[in-house]
């Protein structure tokens, strides 16, 4: 599928890219205001790409059409929309390839996402054949986790993983996020885990931790 994107560059001739996916029902503008809050150094410009998920019916919302990276059949897990997840994975791989064609080194590309977007970022990064700089998974979980051991990419075996979650998240429970973290740790991934006293959202302390993570890996 073709993906619409919003791009923001923190300076001329960026040498790194962050592909940042929004959550269910949001759009490419959702995390646009976060870019200046990160206060990244002007001497090392970064390109932020915010893709728009396609419009599709979402089962848990009564079949209402909205921007979604995949369908959700029920809250809290259960049967997953594998076809939708893998289609969005293919779209992210296409965006990664596009950045490499534009001259960005693969190890200067970060995947990031919030909620449903974070699930796609995690799913894609751990399976990508291109060694990436890192992945940021915000208020999310690991989808299709039972297939990861078989499908994980050797190229990203040492991928830096940043996970942040709200202790009062009533959309994606803290326990589900911790199970996802533990599943990755069991497969050898080093997960930089952060928990905050918040609901299904992002807080200033988290933005500071994200900035520190990006400075470290880029």
Active site residue 29: no
Residues in the chain: 218
Active site residue 200: yes
Q: Which of 88, 115, 139, 180 is catalytic?
A: 115
Q: Which of 81, 139, 169, 180 is catalytic?
A: 169
Q: Which of 71, 153, 194, 200 is catalytic?
A: 200
Active site residue 169: yes
Tell me the catalytic residues: 115, 169, 200
């Amino acid at each position: 599928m073709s993906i619409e994107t919003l791009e923001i560059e923190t300076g001329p001739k960026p040498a790194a890219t962050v592909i940042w996916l929004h959550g269910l029902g949001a759009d490419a503008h959702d995390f646009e205001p976060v870019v200046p809050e990160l206060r990244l150094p002007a001497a090392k410009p970064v390109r932020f790409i915010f893709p728009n998920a396609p419009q599709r019916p979402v089962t848990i919302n009564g079949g209402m059409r909205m921007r979604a990276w995949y369908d959700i059949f029920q809250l809290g897990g259960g049967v997953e929309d594998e076809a939708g997840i893998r289609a969005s994975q293919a779209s992210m791989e296409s965006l990664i390839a596009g950045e490499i064609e534009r001259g960005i080194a693969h190890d200067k590309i970060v995947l990031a996402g919030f909620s449903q977007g974070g699930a796609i970022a995690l799913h894609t990064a751990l399976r990508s054949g291109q060694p990436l700089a890192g992945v940021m998974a915000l208020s999310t979980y690991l989808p299709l986790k039972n297939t990861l051991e078989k499908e994980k990419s050797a190229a990203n075996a040492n991928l830096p993983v940043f996970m942040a979650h709200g202790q009062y998240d009533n959309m994606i429970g803290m326990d589900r996020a911790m199970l996802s973290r533990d599943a990755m740790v069991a497969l050898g991934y080093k997960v930089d885990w952060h928990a905050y006293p918040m609901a299904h959202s992002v807080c200033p302390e988290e933005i500071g931790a994200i900035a520190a993570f990006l400075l470290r890996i880029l």
